[in-house]
Each structure stands twice: as structure tokens, then as C-alpha cells.
Structure 1
Amino acid sequence: MIEEFEAHRARLRAVAYRMLGSVAEADDALQDAWLRVSRADTGDVENPAGWLTTVVARVCLNMLRSREHRREEPLERAAAVTVADPEEEALLADSVGLALLVVLDTLAPAERLAFVLHDMFQVPFDEIAPLIEKTPAATRQLASRARRRVKGAPAPSADLPRQRRVVGAYLAATRGGDFDALLALLHPDVVLCADRAVLPTPEPILVSGARPVAEGAMASTGRARFADLVLVDGQIAVAMLEAGRLRVLLRFTFDGDLISEIEVIAEPDRLAGLEPAIGHTM
């Protein structure tokens, strides 16, 4: 069955990515599923591709439910989280459709599973139903409800793909300590505003100009290793984590393809107030 898993890896990864909306989490789900498959008694499996799809889907469902449970702890993740290549993330998001990924993230876990497996991968409802402990009829209703929400959802900002590309490049440059690449993403008159929790200062921090802002970003290279792209009120932002907890949020304003303003939020009360608006990454 391990050979079958490898033969179907591309499809299984596609299922996991559409379920989770994140390359890193999709790869984590595949690793978990591979371990389960390697330990399972598969002698009676008649349809390896279908069975493997349900294994991956079950892992993803558990991850989605865990994500929902952790809403009380902002964007909690393992401290040693593996961050995907932003270019690969962008390519996969484009292959699915960024607008669809944004809408999928609004669905409840069971709705998302029913919709993704049936509408995107043609898995019959009677095979999906046991995964969510529903009857096939109830599963059909979940998929139908999800379908209506997907069709009726307002379209996200048309600027979202460009935001994702620019902010993804900003995060990659910060992680890699690439000063010149970072400088190229900033408007010459960019302004960075940071609240008092970022550094122990009596007043908020205000930095103007591309070079000073880029120099300041270089100081956060280590923290950027544990950062990820998120959606805040429909706009791309960067969440920085420490010990699995959200510590800093960067919000961006754009002038064409350049970043014209960066707001750095670290005050716990402000982060807590923004938490309900934070959506998962692409």
C-alpha cells in the first residue's frame, strides 16, 4: 500500500491542500496519513485510491477541528513549524483559485470536507458520510449548503493575489535576510508604525523611508522563521509566532506593487481584538 500511496501522492496532496488551504499543513497531513497507512492492515482494501483519499481526508478533518478548537489561542502552531516556499504556495493557490480558498476557509470542517471531496474529487456521499458520522442524505445536505455559500459569497478583493505575492516576497526576503530584495518591495516613502509593545518605549515607533524600514525588518529575521501569511478583514497580513502563540501582526498598505505602510501590532489587547477577524493562510 505504500507503493499505492506514492503513486497517488499528487492527488492526495491536492485533497489535503484544498481541505487545509496551506502547503505546510497539507504536507503535515500527508506525513500523518503515510504513517497510518504504513501501520494499517490493508489486505481487504479493494479500492486503494479511494481508501487512501478517505485516510487523508480523515486526518485533514481532525486538523480542521483542532484548528477550530484553538480559536481561543490565536493561531497556535508548533514552535518548529515548517514554512512552505512562498512561490510554491502561490502556485498551488492559483491552481485552486484564491477566491475559492478564501471562501472555503469560512466553512465548518464537515461542510468543507463534504464539498471538497464530492464537488472537487467526485467521492460518493456514501463514502464521505462515515468520515463525519452522518447519513449519506445528511452529508448531501452539508455539501449543498456549502455549495450555496461558495456561490453566494462576496468576491474577495481583486487586489488579493497581488497582496499575497508582494507580502509573500516581503516575508521570504525577511526570513532570508535579503536586504536588497526587501528594499525593492518598499515604496521610497514607506512608513512603519509600531505600537509600544514592540519595543519598551513610552511612545509608538514611527520609521520613515525604505532603507530605515528595511534595516529594521532585518532585525526580525529570526522571528520571521515562525511567521506565516494570514487574512485579516480580507487583507493579507503577516502573523509572527513565538512558542506557538501569536505575538506580532503586520498589516500592510500598498501603492501599486510597493508597500507604502506597515503597521506592527504587538499589544496583547489589540491582538485579542483582531483575533476574530484573522483567517487561515493560503
Structure 2
Amino acid sequence: MTTPDPNVSAVMSERALLINVAYRLLGSMAEAEDVVQETYARWYSMSPAQQEAIGSPGGWLTKVATRICFDLLGSARVRRESYVGEWIPEPLPDLTEWGGERPGGITADPADRVTLDESVTMAFLVVLESMTPAERVAFILHDVFRYPFAEVAEIVGRTPAACRQLAFSARRRIGAAQVPVTPAVRQARIVGEFKRAWEAKDIDALIALLDPGATVTADGGGRVGTVLRPVEGAAQIVRMLVNLAGRQRGLTLLERTVNGRPGLVAEQDGAIVTVVAFDVEGDRITHIWAVRNPDKLRSWTARSSEGS
């Protein structure tokens, strides 16, 4: 009888952490999963003696996964220059709404889920997109996951002092973009009011819910129709929303949690076709992100509208 290798469970237990790090760095679950798969492939390509020589398998896995992400972040900037329309990070559902089965018949594993906290809100992820790859890695590893700068330095190929400066620069970007956090209960109320006003095509109610300088950004990736550039200003946004409500037949709006915050999903013919995230300041909506690219909606499953 073969004796189970105790290192296997220890190594595999790191999967949840790796998924969480990779998603925050890349803004894509599909890419995060690919990174984690490649990381484990590199681990198991080593001989048992090589594995034994690694004092901290968890630390080794994190370093390798982050280095892969770091390389991908550089190439992602080039790829997004040819992306059709705006690129928005992949939205994530609440843990209770993950599908039991993923496309291709793969059962979703709890270790593939991302912990939904302030570091994965859509507003936060969008700010991360404005950072250089080195800033993003230094900030996420140090400020979010509490890795010392000495370890961050090994990954990005800079000195610890340089990594400290990178994290400081990233922190400043985050601080400049941050607004006072609106309590979740109030956000949920505002999003609910927005949903009802949109369904009723109530122009006055929509105007009242939107900040005068509000912005809508949509991501269809060239796969489905949507606006290719951000729409700015409450009046312009309301005009667009009312036009959409008039054209889209059989569309059902449902209140759902999107990246840990109150949001909406749009269902058509039993399938989720759009996921909408919001940024709320006070009692007004300041940003709306609408993800329609089907490639970014695979974590979502069609939900019944009962009880919504």
C-alpha cells in the first residue's frame, strides 16, 4: 500500500491563496486559473529531491505564480491596445452564486473562489489597472497579502527599497481615487431604486440617483454590441438607459452581489448576458461598469428570478 505524501495536501492547500493573488493581479479568473495550473505544473515537473530541498513550498508556489502574473501583466498591456472597446476586470459573483459546474463539465472547487473584500471591488480593480506591473505586484503582495518587501524584491527584480517606493506610489493612486465607503445597506437600497427606475423608464428618478458627473463603462470585447467608449454625464447616461430599456425585449434585471458589492445582472432567455457593478458616493451613483463580454461571465450561472 502506497503511503500518502504529506507534502501533496500541504502544496494543494495553497491553491486558494494562489487564486486570490492571481485574480487581484490580473483581474481575470480565466487567466488566474491558467497561472495556478502552470505553477503546479512547474512544481510537479521537479524531482522529489528538488521538492524536498524547498524549505517553504507555499512560498515557492506564491513566488512562481506571481512571477508568471508579472510577465503576463506586461504582455496584457500590449494585448489591450487591440481590445475592442473598453477592458473591464472580470466580475465575480457572491460565493453562494457560484455555479456547481463550470463550462466543460468541470465542477467548481471552493479553492477556485476569490475572497470578496475591499481589494476586489470593481472600483479598486479599475484603479489597479492604471498601475505599472511592478507597482501592482508590490502593492498587492505587501499591502493586501502582507509579504515583506524583501520577498517582493525577489519577484520583481528590484531592491526592497525600490519595492517600498513602488508600493507607496500605488498606495497614493489608490488614495487619490478613494471616496468614503457607503454602507452596503445604503448601496443596496440605491441599486434597488436604480433597477426599478430603469425598468419603469423613470427619467426623473434616474437623474436623481446619478451623480451629475457619473460615468458608464461597458465591456463587450467585440463579442456583443455595447458602447465602445465611456458615457459621461447623468443626462447622457439616462438617455442611453431609456433607449436600451426600449430596445431590449425579454430582459430581466436581478439584484446580485458583484465583487462583494450590491450590483445587478441582466438575464435573457434564462442566461445572464450582462453583469453591472456600481460605485456609490453618498446617495449618488458615480460609476457604472457593465460587463457583457461572454468570456468574462463564465463564473455566473443563469438564476431563477423567483424571489427577486
What is the Cα deviation at residue 235 of structure 1? 2.1
1:71 matched residue in structure 2: 80
> What is the TM-score of this pair, normalised by structure 1?
0.56
AA aligned opposite 1:112: R
List runs of 5+ in structure 2 lacking aligned partners.
1-6, 99-112, 204-223, 226-242, 253-266, 279-285, 296-307
In 2 relative to 1, CA 26–95 (structure 1 residues): closer, same or farther, beyond 3 Å?
Answer: farther
**Matching residue of 1:147:** 171
Tell me which residue corresponds to 1:237: 290
Q: Does 1:128 align with 2:181?
A: no
Instruction: Report how far residue 111 of structure 1 moved.
Output: 0.5
% identity of equivalent residues = 34
Cα shift readout 1:219-242 (whole Å, capped 9, x = no counterpart) = 7969x5xx77789x942112336x
- The residue identity in structure 1 corresponding to 2:33 is D
The CA RMSD over aligned residues, in Å, is: 4.6
1:28-47 equivalence runs, <5 A: 28-40=34-46, 41-47=50-56
When residues 14 and 102 of structure 1 are mapped into structure 2, their CA distance, relative to the original with a 3 A threshold, is same
Alignment-mate amino acid for residue 108 of structure 1: T
- Is 2:66 the partner of 1:57? yes
Give, in whole Å, the separation in 1 of the partners of 2:292 and 2:199: 22
Mapping 1:75-86, distance limit 5 Å: 86=93
The aligned counterpart of 1:265 is none
Q: What is the letter of the counterpart of residue 43 of structure 1?
A: E
AA matched with 1:86:
P
Instruction: Give the AA of the match of 2:77.
Output: E
Q: Aligned partners of 2:180, 2:29: CA distance in 1, in Å?
A: 21
Q: Which residue of 1 aligns with 2:260?
A: none
**TM-score normalized by the length of structure 2:** 0.52
Distance in 2 between residues matched to 1:91 and 1:39, nearest whole Å:
27
The offset of 1:207, in angstroms, is: 6.7
Output the amino acid matched with 2:52. G
**In the alignment, is the contact (CA less than 8 A) between 1:157 and 1:234 conserved in 2?**
no
CA contact (8 A) 1:188 1:210 kept: no
Structure 1 counterpart of 2:142 = 118
CA distance in 2, matches of 1:104, 1:70: 17
Higher helix share: 1
Asked if 1:212 corresponds to 2:249, the answer is yes
Q: CA–CA distance in 1 between the matches of 2:276 and 2:44?
A: 33
Does the alignment pair 1:20 with 2:43? no
Give how far 1:110 is off. 0.8
The CA deviation string for residues 53-85 of structure 1, in whole angstroms up to 9 with x for no partner, is 111111222222222121221169xxxxxx886
The residue that corresponds to 1:96 in the other structure is 119
Letter in 1 for 2:60: W
Taking structure 1 as reference, are residues 39 and 239 closer, same or farther at Cα in structure 2, changes over 3 Å only?
same
Going from structure 1 to structure 2, the CA distance change for 1:213 and 1:65 (only over 3 Å counts) comes to same
Letter in 1 for 2:76: R
In the alignment of these two chains, the number of paired residues is: 209
1:112 CA displacement: 0.8
Unmatched 5+ residue regions in structure 1? 77-82, 167-182, 192-196, 199-205, 245-257, 259-282
